Amino acid sequence: MKKYRTHNCGELRKTHVGKQAQLAGWLHNKRDHGGVLFVDLRDHYGITQVVVRPESGILEEVSRLRKETVVGFQGRIEMRDEETLNPNIPTGQIDLAAASFELLGQTKDLPFSIFPEEQAPEETRLKYRFLDLRKSKLHANIVLRSRVISSLRKFMEELGFNEFQTPILTASSPEGARDYLVPSRVHPGTFYALPQAPQQYKQLLMVAGFDKYFQIAPCFRDEDARATRTPGEFYQLDIEMSFVTQDEIFEVVEKVMSRLFAEYSKHKTTAPPFPRIPYKEAMLKYGTDKPDLRIPLEIIDVTDVFQDGEFEIFKRVTDKGGVVRAVSVKQIADQPKSFFENMLAFAQSIGSRGLAYLVWTGSEVKGPIAKVLGSAKLAALKAAGGIQTGDVMFFVCSGEKEASRMAGEIRSRLGQMLNLIEKDCFKFCWVVDYPMFEWDDEKRCVVFSHNPFSMPQGGLKALKTKDPLSILAYQYDIVCNGVELSSGAIRNHSPEIMYKAFEIAGYSKQDVKKNFAALINAFTYGAPPHGGIAPGIDRLVMLLAGEENLREVIAFPMNQKAQETMMDTPRPADARQLKELHIKIMEPLGKKSKSS
């Protein structure tokens, strides 16, 4: 005999009419219709309407219950009248006619309404996340996340991968974001680190001969929050394979992504093989290495048109090595003046001194810079942009890195303002051929641009003979709708190549041996060529759920200050804990003590 329920609140149908049933759940809503009370009872599975009539003897007590009270009802299943059928819910043909009820859980006044689903400040939502999770959309997102993870496991196993767990308490890494450190009680003065990723361990699994590894891996990084990045922890589908090329990794990931998006979305999705865009091309055409291919606009370089001095403002920049980038848009010449003013204000908000543009009206070319450009220059720009009557071309001028960024943001803004972004689709691509190294203006030295464990294209010979800033790596990102889902690489499995690569980035041989001792040592015992990738599960679910913020697909996320306010974390440790860990708390730098 079941104590609380014989059925769940999404289960009862027409076939159950006439039978006795017992339900339990939350009082979602109630309505009094002429002395008859209609209660919507909700649980994880759905909603069933409960009818409480005067003759039941419980009408008065039930009518006093607050929304979100946990309650159980026992009664008989009845068919609804024709005019009260509800086709919007699976249980909409029946009611439970209540004969008795049991109060299972009282509720206080709610900080926000569950039904109707009231908008509330995010801090309040996170403080009362257990209530927020009762709302239908968020509840569905968390269920979707569970199912996505289940499907990913199934797909990977079908492709011959084995799931292995790697340590959570590990060593700090000198690369990447800040680590979360964990003090050791039994080894005073030493610390574990929570893994930013299982990078070294999964490579060691390849050296151990396991061939195809995956893991639904928790990762920990002490970094600032963004819409597509949460502070603290995140999960990824961690993948590593032996004896593979870049193309073979792409094939596996494309199979998994295609199956996943076909299963959980009806939107049109890019068919394999996904487009491959070299990093340099992506930065030129889209101004970002996370291109949103739903926007049918491309950036072009028109530096050469402005180098001879007709437009002095641009010439001063190009003379110092700057560039001019342009975005042309078809048939928007009739936009009101306010549109161009809004675009100018946006450009200034992202760091541009202004936003030059030209409008081809047919009889003439208009715009702030039209009068300072001769007919030859206008003709050259028209040809470069494939311009026709009614088109508009926008320009930004700055150093190459800044010009790319600003042009990319202007491209995205134009897509939004002009409603050019293709709807109901997922457009995937690979960004490939990343530079192995880049120049760090702040440190004034060459640093790794992506993943230090990557194999340089050209191997050791390239490292010894080429300008470091010209060396490409077997590194790649998978991107969907402007969201980077993951970075990956073919790994550097040669100690000699690794020493040389780290030397270029300013690390000594001893540094490498100290910081990556296990990996270097393992590579001296016969390491196979291997590579991998790790698509972010939070971001995958965010895309499939149609959300724009990762916190909407994570059950208990931190806020933007890296706090989990429901559990009040982080919080101070007590004196006993600190003593056991041999830790003394110091005042933060710049903060005056109370006695001063």
Q: Supply the pLDDT for residue 234.
A: 95
Q: Supply the pLDDT for residue 84.
A: 92
The residues near 515 (Cβ < 8 Å, ≥ 6 apart) are 173, 174, 507
Is the confidence at residue 384, as pLDDT, over 70?
Answer: yes
Is residue 367 assigned to a domain?
yes
Tokens of 370: 């039209």
Q: In terms of residue numbers, what domain contains 41?
A: 14-105
Last residue of a domain, one of 400, 421, 442: 421
Same domain for 301 and 269: no
Same domain for 271 and 145: yes
Residue by residue, DSSP assigns 259-274 as: HHHHHH--SEEPPSSP
Residue by residue, DSSP assigns 17-29 as: TT-EEEEEEEEEE
Is residue 272 assigned to a domain?
yes
Q: For the chain, what is the mean pLDDT? A: 95
**Model pTM?**
0.93
Count of residues in the chain: 596
The alpha carbon of residue 402 and the mean position of all alpha carbons in its chain are separated, in whole angstroms, by 24
Residue with token string 């709708």: 481
Q: What are the tens digits of pLDDT across the range 422-441?
A: 999 999 999 999 999 999 98
Is residue 74 assigned to a domain?
yes
d(CA 184, CA 540): 35
Q: Is 18 left (phi over 0), alpha (psi -120 to 50) or beta?
A: left
Same domain for 240 and 319: no
Same domain for 376 and 255: no
Q: What are the tens digits of pLDDT across the range 90-135?
A: 999 999 999 999 999 999 999 999 999 999 999 999 999 999 999 9
Is residue 111 assigned to a domain?
no
Considering the chain, what percentage of its residues have pLDDT values greater than 70?
Answer: 98
User: Are the CB atoms for 253 and 535 separated by under 8 Å?
Assistant: yes
d(CA 197, CA 148): 20
Same domain for 364 and 253: no
Sheet of 365-366, strands arranged across: 299-301, 323-329, 392-398, 356-360, 365-366
Considering the chain, what percentage of its residues have pLDDT values greater than 90?
Answer: 90
Same domain for 433 and 383: no
Is residue 267 assigned to a domain?
yes
Q: What are the tens digits of pLDDT across the range 395-411?
A: 999 999 999 999 999 99
Tokens of 468: 């470091």
Same domain for 441 and 416: no
d(CA 438, CA 448): 6
Is residue 455 assigned to a domain?
yes
Q: What are the tens digits of pLDDT across the range 123-132?
A: 999 999 999 9
Last residue of a domain, one of 553, 571, 590: 553
Average pLDDT over residues 371-377: 91
Q: Supply the pLDDT for residue 119.
A: 92
Is the confidence at residue 229, as pLDDT, over 80?
Answer: no
Query: What phi, psi does 5 have (nearest 5°)?
Result: -160, 145
User: Are the CB atoms for 489 and 503 separated by under 8 Å?
Assistant: no
Query: What phi, psi does 120 have (nearest 5°)?
Result: -140, 155
How many structural domains is the chain composed of? 3
Q: Supply the pLDDT for residue 1.
A: 62
Q: Report DSSP state, residue 275.
A: P
Same domain for 466 and 405: no
Tokens of 123: 């801090």
Average pLDDT over residues 511-537: 95
Sheet of 232-242, strands arranged across: 162-163, 212-221, 232-242, 530-533, 483-490, 475-480, 428-432, 276-278
Is residue 6 assigned to a domain?
no
CATH code: domain of residue 46 = 2.40.50.140
CATH code: domain of residue 260 = 3.30.930.10
Is residue 128 assigned to a domain?
no
Is the confidence at residue 592, as pLDDT, over 70?
Answer: no
d(CA 283, CA 264): 31
The residues near 452 (Cβ < 8 Å, ≥ 6 apart) are 175, 501, 502, 505
Q: Report DSSP state, residue 198.
A: S
Q: Supply the pLDDT for residue 175.
A: 60
Same domain for 410 and 530: no
- 417 or 2, which is more confident: 417
Q: What are the tens digits of pLDDT across the range 293-351?
A: 999 999 999 999 998 877 889 999 999 999 999 999 999 999 999 999 999 999 999 99
Q: Supply the pLDDT for residue 596.
A: 37
Same domain for 404 and 488: no
pLDDT band at 388 (very low <50, low <70, confident <90, very high): very high
The identity of residue 179, as a single letter, is D
Q: Supply the pLDDT for residue 595.
A: 41
Q: Supply the pLDDT for residue 515.
A: 87
Residue by residue, DSSP assigns 392-439 as: EEEEEEE-HHHHHHHHHHHHHHHHHHTT-SPPSEE-EEEEE--BSEEE
CATH code: domain of residue 386 = 3.30.1360.30
d(CA 304, CA 287): 19
User: Are the CB atoms for 476 and 430 separated by under 8 Å?
Assistant: yes
d(CA 232, CA 223): 7
Same domain for 272 and 380: no
Q: What are the tens digits of pLDDT across the range 433-474?
A: 999 999 998 889 999 998 888 999 999 999 999 999 999 999
Smallest Cα–Cα separation from 208: which of 492, 522, 498?
A: 522
Query: What phi, psi does 471 have (nearest 5°)?
Result: -80, 130
Same domain for 452 and 397: no
